Amino acid sequence: MTHLKRNKIEKFWPIPRKGTKYLAVATHNKNEAIPLVVVMRDVLKLVKNKKELKRLLNEKEIQINHKEIRETNYPVCLFDVINLPEIKKNYRAMLSKSKKMIFEEISEEESKTKVFKVIKKKTLSKKETQLNLMHGKNIISDEKVKTGDSVILNLKDNKILKVIPMKEGKNVFVIKGKHAGHQGKIQEIMDRGGKSIAKIISDEGKVNVWIKNIIVVS
């Protein structure tokens, strides 16, 4: 499926539900991404149409996470960076408190890194482990990392710059659920009914959030 009806788009898409009947869908990660053509045309308004976007991609004027892409429907996920080297601008996909994806302009230096949550681990040898990260990214590493922790990657070489453990005192961003888009600090992690819950001190006050719905960012 390359298109869907506008009234069927995910709630985090920051575009009106009224307009053209059909919209493009991402080539993969469909439930958690917005296709590049929608971001560039309807949100950032940096291109007028798909044809113009295709030309810019062919001329290597647009990158995602500092990598050249060719697909107009390439998925843009949370924390991804859109690089526009020709005009020297970079945008990071974030989530607003109204649970809509927004695109914040960031510096060139900030654009070189991205935070990923570790979803799973697989031991390959005594020294090497495969880390399965959010949005389907996998890397091989010898770093000591636990499932639920976060890693900050250098997007140029995929090297881990920092490991951020999921523990008390760490700053987190809520990526799903009732409190999505809010930030705070973990006060306590507790087990409730077989689920790990984090008690977070946020701008909403104290809230309890399922560990699965948060990512540690610092």
In this predicted model, what pLDDT tens digit does every residue of 72-99 receive, in sequence order?
999 999 999 999 999 999 999 999 999 9
Tell the burial category of 139 from Cβ atoms under 10 Å away from its Cβ (0-12, 13-18, 19+). middle
Question: How far apart are alpha carbons 43 and 93 in whole angstroms?
Answer: 11
- Whole-prediction pTM value? 0.90
What is the widest separation between alpha-carbon atoms in the chain? 55
For residue 138, the number of C-alpha atoms closer than 13 Å in the C-beta half-sphere is: 9
Give the pLDDT score at 202. Answer: 84
Tell the burial category of 87 from Cβ atoms under 10 Å away from its Cβ (0-12, 13-18, 19+). exposed
Give the pLDDT score at 12. Answer: 86
Question: How far apart are alpha carbons 104 and 31 in whole angstroms?
Answer: 21
Question: Beta partners for 205?
Answer: 202
At residue 1, does pLDDT exceed 60? Answer: no
Question: How far apart are alpha carbons 133 and 203 in whole angstroms?
Answer: 28
The two tokens of residue 123 are 């031991």
Q: If you average pLDDT over every residue of the chain, what do you get?
A: 91
Give the pLDDT score at 181. Answer: 92
Question: How far apart are alpha carbons 90 and 71 in whole angstroms?
Answer: 19
Express each pLDDT in 132-177 by its tens digit.
Answer: 999 989 999 989 999 999 999 999 999 999 999 999 999 999 999 9
At residue 16, does pLDDT exceed 80? Answer: no
Q: What is the share, in percent, of the chain residues with pLDDT greater than 70?
A: 94
At residue 9, does pLDDT exceed 80? Answer: no
